[in-house]
């Protein structure tokens, strides 16, 4: 599975080692899970509540959700090197905004910095996905996202202790280390045609309304849901009339693609909710401090990421129905364990199940989502699939903070 430019990129550039692809994609997870153990510190420094501070993760989730399809379109229209350069600039600009909040401490400045880092970071991740040819490479990218996410709470806590919480929020900068190697194997542009400003506007409006839904009071959340539904329906209609736009016409017609994307979204919601719900529950059950909690989270989440490296290729031979039934069932078991039990053993089991199902689902369902549309639409379709998965990063933490 790859973006359409991959084959051309292989003939015009050098093959990119899997390690570089993992480094290019993985640090995006730092922006999602690194704040898990330092939200209280950030809230105290900025004079806000933990709930308000959790909007940092919502802002990051918005950035990756909006940026995913836009990055896929940029990759197809402008090529890998231009996408890498622009994405890198966004990551750096966002990091500078976060660090600048030292002189002007304000939540809005940090929110803007997190959102820009996410927009750039997802561009790097989508580029890595576009270079991932076959189940093994896709499993490497999926496993990298899960593995970086596994170490992120501990790394974020340690970095915050040593350098301050702002340093913990700019860890996505690490992906820039892989940009030179990725640029040597970057794909050339393969798409042309209309820019589809209307489609882009409808897509951004739909995703933005969905991303902020969980961070709003009930009345405003209902309004956001109505906006998301209305703009989503208009976007589907637009895609049928303009099949070469930002949303290919084959996407809303493919039940297999829509189901795979919906399942991936659900798996991500469960996983990221558990990432933020587990630490306070574990602290209550065990009395562990932040460093001990970060170390404890390493085991199940790192195991989940590593297992994905094996499970994604292994699922290639399974029937579509088996994949879309088994993975959600395991995620529901994980959610039940985290909700119904206060024991450490059950919490660890929930974390492991959540991590395995989400990281495996991203790769396994992504393979099937790419096969569910014509080859010419595969690149932008995969970007939309990635959007659905990463949108779970905006929902999951907000749900966990509100409930736990």
Alpha helices in 132-194 (DSSP H): 134-163, 165-169, 179-184
- Domain residues for 12? 6-403
- Number of domains making up the chain: 1
290 belongs to a structural domain: yes
> How far apart (Å, rounded) are the C-alpha atoms in residues 130 and 11?
14
Q: What is the pLDDT of residue 159?
A: 92
Residue 351 has a CB neighbour count (10 Å cut-off) of 27
13 belongs to a structural domain: yes
Q: What is the pLDDT of residue 192?
A: 57
* pLDDT values of the chain reduced to their tens digit, one per residue, 404 residues: 333 333 333 334 466 788 888 899 999 989 988 888 888 888 888 888 777 777 888 888 888 888 887 887 788 778 888 899 999 999 999 999 998 877 666 788 889 999 999 999 989 988 888 777 666 777 778 778 777 887 888 899 899 989 999 999 999 999 999 999 888 877 777 655 567 788 888 988 998 888 878 777 778 888 989 999 999 899 989 888 888 888 888 888 889 999 999 999 999 999 988 988 888 888 888 888 888 888 888 888 888 777 877 788 788 778 888 888 999 999 999 999 888 877 888 899 999 999 889 888 888 888 888 888 888 787 778 878 888 887 887 788 878 877 76
| Selection from 398, 17, 400, 326 nearest residue 181 by Cα | 17
Q: DSSP state, 106?
A: -
350 belongs to a structural domain: yes
Q: What is the pLDDT of residue 134?
A: 67
1 belongs to a structural domain: no
216 belongs to a structural domain: yes
157 belongs to a structural domain: yes
Q: What is the pLDDT of residue 1?
A: 33
Overall pTM surpassing 0.85 (yes/no): no
Q: What is the pLDDT of residue 394?
A: 76
Of the chain, the end-to-end C-alpha distance in Å amounts to: 38
274 belongs to a structural domain: yes
Q: What is the pLDDT of residue 264?
A: 92
Question: What does the DSSP assignment read for 198-239?
Answer: HHHHHHHHHHHHHHHGGGS-HHHHHHHHHHHHHHHHHHHHHH
> How far apart (Å, rounded) are the C-alpha atoms in residues 170 and 114?
8
Residue 66 sits in a domain whose CATH number is 1.20.1250.20
Q: What is the pLDDT of residue 104?
A: 61
Site of tokens 């490497």:
140
41 belongs to a structural domain: yes
The distance of Cα 341 from the centroid of its chain, to the nearest Å, equals 28
């Amino acid at each position: 599975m790859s973006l359409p430019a991959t084959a051309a990129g292989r003939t015009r550039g050098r093959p990119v080692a899997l390690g570089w692809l993992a480094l290019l994609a993985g640090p995006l997870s730092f922006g999602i899970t690194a704040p898990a153990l330092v939200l209280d510190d950030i809230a105290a420094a900025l004079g806000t509540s933990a709930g308000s501070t959790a909007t940092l993760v919502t802002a990051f989730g918005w950035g990756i959700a909006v940026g995913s399809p836009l990055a896929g379109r940029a990759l197809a229209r402008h090529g890998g090197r231009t996408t890498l350069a622009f994405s890198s600039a966004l990551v750096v600009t966002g990091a500078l905004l976060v660090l600048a909040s030292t002189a002007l401490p304000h939540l809005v400045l940090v929110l803007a910095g997190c959102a820009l880092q996410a927009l750039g970071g997802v561009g790097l991740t989508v580029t890595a996905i576009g270079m991932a040819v076959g189940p093994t490479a896709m499993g490497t990218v999926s496993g990298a996202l899960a593995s970086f996410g596994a170490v992120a709470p501990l790394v974020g806590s340690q970095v915050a202790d040593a350098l301050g919480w702002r340093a913990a929020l700019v860890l996505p900068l690490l992906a820039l280390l892989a940009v030179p190697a990725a640029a040597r194997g970057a794909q050339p542009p393969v798409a042309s045609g209309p820019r589809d400003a209307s489609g882009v506007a409808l897509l951004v409006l739909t995703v933005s309304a969905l991303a902020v839904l969980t961070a709003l009071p009930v009345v405003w959340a209902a309004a956001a849901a109505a906006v998301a539904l209305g703009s989503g329906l208009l976007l589907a209609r637009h895609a049928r009339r303009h099949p070469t736009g930002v949303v290919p016409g084959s996407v809303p017609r493919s039940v297999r693609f829509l189901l795979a994307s919906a399942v991936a979204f659900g798996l991500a919601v469960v996983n990221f909710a558990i990432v933020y719900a587990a630490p306070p529950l574990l602290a209550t059950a065990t009395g562990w401090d932040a460093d001990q909690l970060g170390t404890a989270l390493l085991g199940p989440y790192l195991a989940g990421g590593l297992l994905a490296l094996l499970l994604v290729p292994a699922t290639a031979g399974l029937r579509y129905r088996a994949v879309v039934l088994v993975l959600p069932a395991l995620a529901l078991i994980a959610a039940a364990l985290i909700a119904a039990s206060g024991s450490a053993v059950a919490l660890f089991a929930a974390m492991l199940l959540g991590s395995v199902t989400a990281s495996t689902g991203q790769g396994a369902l992504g393979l099937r989502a790419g096969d569910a549309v014509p080859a010419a639409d595969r690149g932008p379709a995969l970007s939309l699939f990635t959007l659905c998965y990463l949108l779970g990063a905006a929902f999951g933490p907000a749900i966990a903070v509100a409930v736990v």
